[in-house]
């Protein structure tokens, strides 16, 4: 079972690396009144982290209500 987890981890890291290298170009992003340029991979990472943290906070709040 340990070997299977290592193989899955390796495959996921390899896929994440491929996605990162394919999204290195700069994109123009507008947020409210600000405009900035950053690599697409950074934007994807920021959105992922924001979504992850939001999900964790909602889950914590949901548990407190019950």
pLDDT in single tens digits along all 66 residues of the chain:
888 888 998 998 898 889 888 888 999 988 888 998 999 888 888 888 999 999 989 988 887 776
Q: Which of 45, 26, 44 is nearest to 35 (CA)?
A: 26
Q: Which pTM does this prediction carry?
A: 0.65
């Amino acid at each position: 079972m340990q070997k299977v987890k290592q193989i899955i981890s390796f495959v996921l890291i390899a896929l994440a690396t491929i996605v990162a290298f394919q999204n290195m170009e700069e994109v123009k992003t507008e947020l409210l009144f600000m405009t900035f340029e950053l690599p697409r991979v950074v934007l994807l990472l920021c959105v992922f982290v924001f979504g992850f943290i939001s999900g964790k906070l909602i889950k914590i709040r949901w548990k407190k209500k019950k």
